[in-house]
Amino acid sequence: MNDQSTAWQHWFPLIENALGDLSRCMFDQVGLAPGHSVLDLATGIGEPALEAARRVGPTGRVLGVDISPAMLGIAQVRAETAGLTNVEFRVMDIGTLSLPESFDIVLCRCGLMFVDNADTQLGGAL
């Protein structure tokens, strides 16, 4: 994924335009609201983590995880550029996810396709 991060950054406006409705529907379905703590699996270059951070506001928090340090580097720059201080990014493989903290909401817009046996690998983690 690291070698694809530049392409993701380049094509992001088109991709986000295509997936924006899906994210909005996902936020509505889970009842995302100010103050929630959110985990975004396979966040890539930061969506939907960044929009979730805007929606949960300063009393909420968002953790975006992805296997690609390069993708997360882009996500971090995007968060800083947007002035978002309630979002953090960590390099993690969602197939072997282990986090000490808990979350109100877990999002994964398009990342499960990258996990072999997601039902068994993520079942114990979520």
Out of 2-16, 50-64, 105-119, give the one with best mean pLDDT. 50-64
- Distance CA(108)–CA(125), nearest Å, equals 14
Q: How far apart are the C-alpha atoms of 94 and 92, rounded to whole Å?
A: 6
CATH number at residue 68: 3.40.50.150
- What percent of the chain stands above pLDDT 90? 54
Give the number of domains in the chain. Answer: 1
Residue 126 within any structural domain of the chain: no
Residue 108: inside a domain: yes
pLDDT of residue 56: 97
Evaluate whether residue 25 is within a structural domain.
Answer: yes
Q: What is the domain extent for residue 82? A: 2-121
Ramachandran class of 91: left when φ > 0, alpha when ψ lies in -120 to 50, beta otherwise: beta
Distance (Å, rounded) from C-alpha 50 to C-alpha 20? 12
Q: What pLDDT is attached to residue 95?
A: 79
CB 118 within 8 A of CB 97: no
Q: What is the pLDDT of residue 49?
A: 95
Q: Does the structure show a pLDDT above 60 at 118?
A: no
Per-residue model confidence (pLDDT) at position 105:
95
Burial label for 85, CB within 10 Å (0-12, 13-18, 19+), is exposed
Name beta bridge partners: 87: 62
* Res. 5 pLDDT band, cuts 50 70 90: low
Residue 29 located in a structural domain: yes
The mean per-residue pLDDT over the stretch 54-60 comes to: 97
Residue 91 lies in a domain: yes
Q: Which of 8-22, 34-48, 84-98 is predicted least confidently?
A: 8-22
Strand-pair partners of 61: 37
